[in-house]
Structure 1
């Protein structure tokens, strides 16, 4: 009965989600291929991805989703940035049970795709994983060229779930979904775009299997933290939203302390998923972050056809967006 009611609720949410019915999303689904790649000895460890833009670019932007989302949550970034000549890869994670295993599998994926370096845009859990991967490269050649962290965190204790980590793999999907949505259910919005972004993520959440959910929650909640001294010198932009979302101001302040030289992009509103609800602002911040790398060995775009060097200047910049261009 529970699974039937859950499926019914998911179907109702999907039916009322404007994003899922939009020409933009449907166009993305038809234009960008969804690939699956196995890079480990275990055939069950499967990455899936949307890889768009010029394939000869060897330092692309890689997008890592939150605990609740699939690679599709970045479809607006993929469509927009590839129109300026960028290569963008949006990923879904394999089922792994430790941060070390995730980092090893991600490294093998980069090898498989022949990517020398990558810029990483990580949302929530995706941002934490990006930091841990960059951290484990300390003392050797870096694969991470830069980081953009959106509504992310630097320690997992904030979720107060570290004692539950060992039992996630046993729990049914309906319980795991409830755990993921715990901090989101109390957030409602009259803003149609924010409400739509929550419906889209709810749909995305229901597409994940029990094993995928359990793995993500395990990575999200196992007791760990970022060691910022191992990321010194890495270009970082922090994108944070200052309306109702699951992260507290204390969590944001801890992240700021870890990255005192980072550029900060402050959005006045956008909820937990601004890459959907405030895509134009997030896309602009990504352009501003990536612009210094154009026409260099770390360029994420085909510079021979890329007009982005002037796009950031010509685009009207709001007061919120302008903060991305200055380090605090």
Structure 2
């Protein structure tokens, strides 16, 4: 990650683009909206991220696309959130948007596009899974997420990031950013809701979007989404393109922002001199 201070960069963006509140069906969402013209793009983060976790893509594409990024409410689950997002998209007059979700957000994005295909113009299922079967048997989902002390849940995330905190680790800057999310930026209710939503998620309905509007993103060194899970996602969606990073962790939009922005430009049909796929270190399968 070099000498960059990711947390400082994100904080500067957040100061310029604070979340607006959008209450839908009694649930309080955080929303960042930028861009006045161009194709519509909805960005849904994973468990450890707010709307501004995509700050690098939002900043890069704000002059070319209409972007809506969200932060989760403190209640509800996958089906509730899909209904909420459908309303938020309609309220924003962003019908036909491409929906990108990463990790937890990728599962929600798949549910949204499957249940609201007329509202969605494309799907990017990124660093995510096609089924939650068996997830309730592994930590932290195996815990009672309603009663386990929040400090214990947060400590579990911190332990998972421990090895990245060494000064010479390539993801040390990313670890600092994520630790701030865990410790201070994601309130207790929201963190519990995110975990519970995936633990209790329904199986995904079949997609009816055209195949040429479905895409996947994966990372070879993703420690949370195993190779069999990546294969299962591709098999379930048969995407038009499967974007594969070699070494970007579970968070390629943070660690390789230019490449991630380039794939979004490609998905959105934006032209220019920015495309790098399939050239470069990343591979396209």
State the match for 2:31 in structure 1. Answer: 49
Alpha-carbon offset, residue 235 of structure 1: 1.0
- Structure 1 unmatched runs, 5+: 1-15, 292-307
- Pick closer, same or farther for the CA change 1:241–1:166 going to 2, 3 Å: closer
Q: Residue 67 of structure 1 contacts residue 180 of structure 1 at CA under 8 Å; is this kept in 2?
A: no
Match status 1:111 vs 2:106: no
**What is the TM-score when the length of structure 1 is the normalising length?**
0.76
8 Å CA contact retained: 1:266, 1:321:
yes
- Give the match for residue 87 of structure 1: 66
Residue 21 (structure 1) aligns with: 8
- Tell me the SS of whatever aligns to 1:156: coil
- The 1-side partners of 2:104 and 2:212 are apart by 19
Task: Classify 1:21/1:103 alpha carbon distance in 2 versus 1 (closer, same or farther; 3 Å).
Answer: closer
Kept in 2, the 8 Å contact 1:99–1:129? The answer is: yes
Residue 144 of structure 1 deviates from its aligned partner by: 1.2
Find the partner of 1:239 among 197, 213, 217: 217
Aligned length: 281
Alpha-carbon distance in 2 for matches of 1:189, 1:158: 32
Cα gap change, 1:97 to 1:179, in 2 (>3 Å): farther
Offset at residue 192 of structure 1 (A): 5.5
1:38-62 CA distances to partner (integer Å, 9 max, x unpaired)? 122x2xx1111221111x66x5211
Please list the CA deviations of residues 94-127 of structure 1 after superposition, one character each: whole Å capped at 9, or x if unmatched.
Answer: 1233322112211222232232222111110000
- How far apart, CA to CA, are the structure 2 residues paired with 1:312 and 1:242? 23
Conserved? CA contact 2:122–2:209, under 8 Å: no
Q: Name the one with the larger helix percent.
A: 1
Partner of 1:276: helix, strand, or coil? helix
Whole-angstrom CA distance in 1 between matches of 2:203 and 2:167: 35
Quick check: 1:39–1:112 contact (8 Å CA) kept in 2? no
Could you list the per-position Cα deviations for residues 263-282 of structure 1 after superposition, in whole angstroms to 9, with x for gaps in the alignment? 01111101111111111111
Residue equivalent to 1:39: 24
- The 3-state SS of whatever aligns with 1:220 is helix
Contact kept? 1:161, 1:221, Cα under 8 Å: no
Note if 1:99 corresponds to 2:78: yes
Residues of 2 paired with 1:184 and 1:121: CA distance?
25
Distance 2:169 2:257 in 1: 14
Q: When the two structures are superposed, what TM-score results if normalisation uses the length of structure 2?
A: 0.86
Name the structure 1 match of 2:42. 62
Q: Give 3-state SS (helix, strand or coil) of 1:88's partner.
A: strand
Q: Distance in 2 between matches of 1:142 and 1:209?
A: 34
Alpha-carbon distance between aligned partners in 2 of 1:230 and 1:185, rounded to the nearest angstrom? 41
Secondary structure of 1:119's counterpart equals strand
Matched, 1:74 2:54: yes
* In structure 2, distance between residues paired with 1:189 and 1:148: 32
